[in-house]
Amino acid sequence: MTYPKIPLAQTVIQLCKAKNIKHIIISPGSRNAPLTIGFTNDTFFKCYSIVDERSAAFFALGIAQQLQEPTAVLCTSGSALLNYYPAVAEAFYSNIPLVILSADRPKHLIGIGDGQTINQKNVFENHILFSANLKLDLKDEKNIPEHEELPIFKNLEDKFERLLGLQKNIQTHNEENINTAINLAVLKKGPVHINIPLDEPLYETVEALSVSPKTIAINVKSDNIEDYVLQSCFEDWNSASKKMILVGVNSPNQIEKKWIDELAEDDSVIVLTETTSNLHHPSFFSSIDQLIAPLSDEEKQELQPDILVTFGGLIVSKKIKQFLRKYQPEHHWHIDGKMANDTFFCLDNHIQKTPNAFFEAFLPRVTHYVKSNYKAIWTTVKQSRLKKHKTYLEQIPFSDFKVFSRILKSIPDQYILQSGNSSAIRYTQLFKINKTLEVYCNRGTSGIDGSTSTAIGCAVANKKPTLFITGDLSFLYDSNALWNNYIPKNFKIIIVNNQGGGIFRILPGHKNTENFDTYFETNHQLTAEHLCNMYGFKYESISDEVSLKSALKSFYLEDDQPKLLEVFTPKQINDDVLLNYFDFIS
């Protein structure tokens, strides 16, 4: 087998292999050549070449999202590394294990005006679990670490012995830092950065390894819950007649069905689920804005819970945030092994376990159900809303609202649905989702910058067909995502094109002015057609309901290339249709 000659490169590659990091997304460069040589010459690794580092990082994030195991991205030195930052932030807030491998110049070449050089040390410090700043292999006196003084050698033998000792210390430092970084990515589910200084020559290879790095095992803590934690929860739970459970971003199959059923049987509990929760039960409340938006102040007081229990990732619905911040529960528990956001300014109990582990320890020991009409009252409201929702759909014109309704009903069973941010996820939240679908969205930072790339990474990692629904600005912003040689044939995109940032039309502001159209809505006349021709997507466009209904019938059929359907909607009425909806269902 062919290996890079540089021991540090060998160390990084061997430890990635030992930690079972199989997927390596590589952006081209010279400084990272030793690592690229090593990864691509070992059949253990699945290597991908993606030029645009921002797209590459989100592509890797999509793979890691599906596999729930670390995925690595590798780049050269300089500004290439900075292009990873949006995906690093998303991984940080979405708890996705992403390993950043950045090649760097040696320390003595930094800050002297050398080309393609920036200060890479700790560059992600505000959005990273751990930064491993590795040390350059010792080749001669100029690379002795700063804290080491140049010794006066008695003879040549003494010199070699001293330098070998320094190299051993360097090797130990590097091994410990790489182990720590990757272990934290696995254990705490988030991004880590390993910065790797490499000196020329960069392209030399050998046929045998010169180092054998030590692998440090991950120390996994028990998921047992202490009795005193449970006891305090029992006391509050058994005395509360209004308990609300709110579920944010959650991977499929994280909660056992028996605990879902147990919660559903309790008349004092209502469970509000976001589309991204991947949690389903007929008695749960899956369209939060639909329930809350039309409520009067008196009705909101009735809905105000005694106890709020939250788990999962970040919440999409602004309306539930506004409601719970004003009508705060007496107690707010958040269940998460890693962190708890005080989203509603009333958090008083962070239960640092997985939700499933908590329910397994807690629910069997709940001695009785509290007599309550809490769920019955709000189930009646939900049923009324659903009837009005159906009536409203029957009478509105062709618009974003109607398009999302038709698209979401059309998706076949067992698909993965990746949603873009902004309007796409907010419209999706208003409709009941097929429970066989797995739903994902980059809600860590809620940005539009890498949604397409993430969806493609997801499609590569999961054999199920993937549908990505997005708006036009989000798609165009991340159009380099299609510059990718690994897109599966069963990957599909639907763009809802309302010729600008349509979501801004429903926010306070002066619509239909030149300033608004240019700087907020950002009007345009662009389409995805030429991009599809360039990147090998089968393209179709429609602009009316009859054509949409017809196009969707054939859209999901197997084909020999990925597909993109572009749906043009009338931007002048989309905002009115959406805003009138909440008045209608009240």
Confidence bin at 140 (pLDDT 50/70/90)? very low
DSSP conformation class of 249: S
User: In sequence order, what DSSP letters do the residues of 116-136 get, joined into one string?
Assistant: T----TTTTTTS-SEEEE--P
What's the pLDDT score for residue 141? 41
| 162 pLDDT more than 80 | no
pLDDT tens per residue, range 347-372: 999 999 999 999 999 999 887 889 99
Pairing of strands 243-247, 269-273: parallel
Per-residue pLDDT, averaged over 407-436, amounts to 96
145 or 553, greater pLDDT? 553
Query: Which residues, other chains included, contact 461 with Cβ-Cβ below 8 Å and sequence gap of 6+?
Result: 23, 62, 63, 65, 66, 67
- What is the sign, positive or negative, of the torsion defined by CA atoms of 103, 108, 113, 115? negative
DSSP three-state, residue 43: coil
Classified by CATH at the fold level, domain 227-379 comes out as Rossmann fold (3.40.50)
Contact 241, 371 (CB under 8 A): yes
Q: What's 3-201's CATH class?
A: alpha beta
Q: What mean pLDDT, rounded, does the chain reach?
A: 92
> Percent of the chain beyond pLDDT 90?
84
510 or 529, greater pLDDT? 529
- Residue 508: cis peptide before it, omega within 30 degrees of 0: no
Contact 459, 481 (CB under 8 A): no
- HSE, CB side, 13 Å, CA atoms: give it for residue 288: 26
Per-residue pLDDT, averaged over 21-25, amounts to 98
Per-residue pLDDT, averaged over 178-185, amounts to 98
pLDDT tens per residue, range 62-88: 999 999 999 999 999 999 999 999 999
What's the pLDDT score for residue 4? 98
Confidence bin at 515 (pLDDT 50/70/90)? confident
What's the pLDDT score for residue 136? 94
What's the pLDDT score for residue 482? 98
Query: Which residues, other chains included, contact 27 with Cβ-Cβ below 8 Å and sequence gap of 6+?
Result: 49, 50, 51, 52, 53, 56, 73, 74, 75, 76, 80
Q: What Å distances lie between residue 368 and 240, 270, 422, 541, 543, CA to CA?
A: 12, 17, 42, 57, 56
What's the pLDDT score for residue 509? 63
What's the pLDDT score for residue 142? 47
Q: What's 396-584's CATH class?
A: alpha beta
Q: Which of 52-56, 176-180, 509-513 has the lowest mean pLDDT?
A: 509-513
Per-residue pLDDT, averaged over 534-553, amounts to 97
Q: Which two tokens stand for residue 367?
A: 């001695």
What's the pLDDT score for residue 386? 96
Contact 238, 367 (CB under 8 A): yes
Beta strands, E only, 352-400: none
Confidence bin at 168 (pLDDT 50/70/90)? confident
Determine if the pTM surpasses 0.75. yes
The ranges assigned to domains in the chain are 3-201, 227-379, 396-584
What's the pLDDT score for residue 572? 86
Per-residue pLDDT, averaged over 254-260, amounts to 95
What's the pLDDT score for residue 500? 74
What's the pLDDT score for residue 524? 84
- Residue 252: cis peptide before it, omega within 30 degrees of 0: no
Query: d(Cα 387, Cα 385) in Å, to the nearest integer?
Result: 5
Q: Which of 114-118, 327-331, 395-399 has the lowest mean pLDDT?
A: 114-118
Per-residue pLDDT, averaged over 531-551, amounts to 97
Same fold? 3-201, 227-379:
yes
| 513 pLDDT more than 80 | no
| 389 pLDDT more than 70 | yes
Confidence bin at 165 (pLDDT 50/70/90)? low
What is the CB neighbour count within 10 angstroms for residue 43?
8
Contact 403, 578 (CB under 8 A): no
What's the pLDDT score for residue 164? 61
pLDDT tens per residue, range 438-495: 999 999 999 999 999 999 999 999 999 999 999 999 999 999 999 999 999 999 999 9
